């Protein structure tokens, strides 16, 4: 098993992508207290409110998260809050079963699209009223650029951003220096760096798209967004075969054909990719924010966050995933109490990051400033990559919505990434073929 990611990269995607099985991720959730065990926070009258949270980090996260919840004192007349950590293994079924059986929590996190699945079913409390309250004036101003509005649906805000998973590229400064290459800032410069790295048998475009590893597909969509494209139009419909997308995928196919991509990448897990990095075989890699935690110290010391690339369209862009917290309307003893607790939680959650508990990147500028004062890599990701990143909804919208559940980690996207990285497709015709197959599969999903 690969070492577990830590720091700002410890998310469900990085856990499973690192070769950790869903069952093992679930086991992680059961550390010490066990998934399903809980502790109550605060005291007071009224019915107890259930707070479900996911294992966003190792034991340190669970310990600190329970401490924060335990310190909550509800207003007079409102119920206390119980804490339960939910396993990633079969988590969608866990939520669906709970909603169907009226045993769901009042407040919860989940997968990045969980709230939007249940919002479509009318089970979610929209948070517009809470967000317009005076307690949220400073909090709203503190969110990272354009982040809060990724949660907005036609009916209102379905959730509040909680932690972020990013897609960006890292480069090995020592390996680039060894071939006289400079860190790229455009697609052309990236290709030039790859060409120089190849002279020493080093792959410039590090990626992975094997079993349980979704990063390869994420990165391909990130390139589309970088070129002004993406998978969805303004009507939230799949619209993948566009000029911008074709150009992006044609560019990657060119890298593959030129030998700049490890030919085994289509079958690599993240553990395989990190092994290649430790073996000095990857000069650059497209990955998440926690990459440095997964390689040896020598590699980590020479690993730097690249600048967002400028695409042929003259644009910058990338893909990110705003994980979130939401309130269930169904089977909720107190919406008011839920909103009060959620407000408290956001005002007091900073230590999840300042104590380095392993949760993903923070949603608030003030937390990032405090947590990353001595972390130039995470600071650069927050300052340079987050503002130009968009959700799966690009280019039509920079929001999360129900239809993206067809894309994230699904078989059509896995097959798409493996076809592009597999080496059999070439040029514009190959790009059109791959995108058409993806579009047809998503439309029939």
Q: For 303-361, what is each residue's pLDDT tens digit?
A: 999 999 999 999 999 999 999 999 999 999 999 999 999 999 999 999 999 999 999 99
Would you list the DSSP string of 187-221?
HHHHHHHHHHHHTTT-BSSB---STT--HHHHHHH
Nearest residue to 114 (alpha-carbon basis) of 408, 332, 394, 411:
408
State the pLDDT at residue 212. Answer: 85
Distance (Å, rounded) from C-alpha 26 to C-alpha 252?
35
Compute the distance between CA of residue 81 and CA of residue 47 in angstroms, rounded to an integer.
9
Residue count (the chain):
445
Do 418 and 214 touch, CB atoms closer than 8 A?
Answer: no
Output b/e per residue, 141-173; b: 16+ Cβ within 10 A: ebbbebbbebbbbeeebbbbbbbbbbbbbbbbe
**β-strands 107-109, 152-153: how paired?**
unpaired
Per-residue pLDDT of the chain (445 residues; tens, 9 = 90+): 222 333 333 344 433 333 333 333 333 333 323 333 344 343 344 689 999 999 999 999 999 999 999 999 999 888 899 999 999 988 999 999 999 999 999 999 999 999 999 999 999 999 999 999 999 999 999 999 999 999 999 999 999 999 999 999 999 999 999 999 999 999 999 999 999 999 999 999 999 999 889 999 999 999 999 999 999 999 999 999 999 999 999 999 999 999 999 999 999 999 999 999 999 999 999 999 999 999 999 999 999 999 999 999 999 999 999 999 999 999 999 999 999 999 999 999 999 999 999 999 999 999 999 999 999 999 999 999 999 999 999 999 999 999 998 898 899 999 999 999 999 999 999 999 999 999 999 999 8
């Amino acid at each position: 098993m690969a070492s577990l990611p830590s720091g700002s990269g410890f998310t469900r995607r990085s856990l499973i992508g690192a070769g950790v099985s869903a069952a093992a991720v679930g086991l992680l959730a059961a550390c010490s207290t066990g998934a399903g065990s809980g502790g109550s926070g605060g005291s007071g009258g009224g019915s107890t409110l259930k707070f479900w949270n996911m294992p966003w980090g190792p034991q340190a996260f669970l310990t600190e998260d329970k401490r924060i919840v335990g310190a909550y004192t509800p207003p007079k007349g409102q119920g206390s809050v119980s804490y339960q950590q939910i396993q990633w293994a079969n988590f969608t079924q866990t939520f669906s079963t709970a909603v169907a059986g009226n045993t769901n929590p009042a407040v919860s996190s989940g997968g990045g699209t969980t709230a939007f699945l249940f919002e479509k079913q009318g089970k979610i409390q929209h948070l517009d009223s809470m967000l317009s309250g005076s307690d949220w004036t400073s909090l709203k101003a503190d969110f990272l650029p354009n982040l809060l509005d990724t949660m907005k649906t036609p009916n209102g805000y379905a959730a509040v951003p909680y932690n972020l998973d990013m897609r960006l590229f890292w480069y090995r400064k020592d390996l680039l220096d060894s071939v006289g290459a400079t860190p790229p800032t455009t697609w052309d410069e990236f290709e030039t760096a790859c060409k120089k790295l190849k002279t020493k048998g080093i792959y410039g475009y590090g990626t992975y798209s094997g079993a349980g590893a979704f990063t390869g597909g994420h990165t391909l969509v990130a390139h589309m967004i970088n070129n002004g494209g993406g998978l969805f139009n303004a009507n939230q419909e799949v619209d993948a075969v566009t000029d911008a997308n074709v150009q992006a995928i044609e560019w990657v196919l060119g890298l593959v054909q030129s030998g700049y991509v490890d030919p085994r990448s289509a079958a690599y897990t993240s553990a395989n990719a990190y092994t290649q990095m430790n073996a000095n075989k990857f000069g650059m890699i497209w990955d998440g924010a926690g990459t440095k935690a997964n390689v040896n110290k020598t590699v980590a010391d020479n690993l730097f966050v690249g600048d967002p690339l400028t695409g042929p369209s003259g644009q910058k862009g990338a893909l990110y995933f705003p994980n979130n917290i939401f309130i269930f309307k169904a089977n909720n003893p107190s919406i008011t109490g839920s909103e009060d607790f959620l407000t408290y939680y956001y005002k007091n959650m900073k230590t999840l990051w300042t104590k380095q508990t392993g949760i993903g990147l923070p949603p608030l500028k003030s937390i990032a400033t405090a947590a990353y004062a001595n972390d130039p890599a995470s600071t650069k990701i927050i300052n340079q990559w987050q503002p130009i990143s968009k959700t799966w909804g690009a280019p039509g919208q920079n929001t999360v919505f129900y239809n993206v559940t067809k894309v994230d980690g699904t078989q059509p996207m896995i097959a798409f990434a493996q076809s592009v990285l597999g080496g059999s497709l070439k040029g514009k015709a190959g790009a059109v073929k791959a995108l058409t197959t993806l579009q047809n599969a998503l439309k029939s999903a």
